Amino acid sequence: MPTSKLASPGSGYLRCVSRTDPKPGRWILPLVVVAIVGFTWVFVNALPPAPDATSGAAPTASTEPQDDFATTTTAVVVVNTTTTTTMPAEIAEFVLAADTVAAAADDLLLEANDINTTWESGRNFTLALNSLRDFATRTSDFSESVAATSVPESLASVWDPVRSSAAEMLIAANDMVSGLQAPDTGQIRQAALDGFATAVTDLTQATAAAKAAAGG
């Protein structure tokens, strides 16, 4: 049987293949795989850009001018300003005196209520009498201090109601002492306590009016 040249051991390239690999057809599959990979790479790179996941459209370069309001954030800064006014020294002292007088009157009213409540609950006559007498003495000092308060000439008239109210407080304090010693069942003393409270209310309102007139 004649021998084919392709099968001849001395036939060049195929001779080398036949020496290294008895089955030359096994080289075909790797070549096909390489060709497929190369074709796939060329095909993928030739595709258009993928759509944006959030907008559903492929990003495109826009040549239209951008809206300034869409890209600019404006911060509004509010600056608080405080206007400082300087009050004359004598007016500032007057306003302070008015506040001090009103606070002292409130404290005296609290003490008057405490003394009378203690008397009603304990009926200790000596304790109540001594307490009311001491209270009347301190109310007298208070009334004198209010009357002697230094007041700017322009505000003298608005301080007069404060002096009058302080004087009424003193009258009511003395009446509480007398009421405790009265032969009634406490009506005079209670009326005096109510009068003291009314005088304190009038004084508080008068000091507020005086401060308003002073611009405080």
CATH code, domain with 94: 1.20.120
Specify the pLDDT at position 160: 97
The reply to whether 81 falls in a domain is: no
Specify the pLDDT at position 133: 98
Specify the pLDDT at position 39: 54
Residues 102 and 179 in one domain: yes
Cα 198 from Cα 192, distance rounded (Å): 10
Number of domains in the chain: 2
Residues 123 and 19 in one domain: no
Range of the domain at 29: 12-46
Specify the pLDDT at position 189: 98
Contacts of 146 (CB under 8 A, 6+ apart): 101, 162, 163, 166
| Helix intervals (H) in the chain | 12-20, 28-46, 68-71, 89-122, 125-147, 156-181, 187-214
**Token pair of 50, please?**
């993928």
Q: What are the average pLDDT values for consecutive 10-residue runs of the chain, which has 216 residues?
A: 42 42 51 57 57 50 47 40 68 96 98 98 97 98 97 96 98 98 97 98 98 90
The reply to whether 163 falls in a domain is: yes
The reply to whether 75 falls in a domain is: no
Residues 36 and 114 in one domain: no
The reply to whether 76 falls in a domain is: no
pTM for this one?
Answer: 0.61
Residues 102 and 33 in one domain: no
Specify the pLDDT at position 81: 42
Residues 26 and 103 in one domain: no
Q: With 0-12 CB in 10 A as exposed, 13-18 as middle and 19+ as buried, what is 51?
A: exposed
The reply to whether 153 falls in a domain is: yes
CB 139 within 8 A of CB 170: yes
Could you tell me how far CA 204 lies from the centroid of its own chain? Answer: 31
The reply to whether 42 falls in a domain is: yes
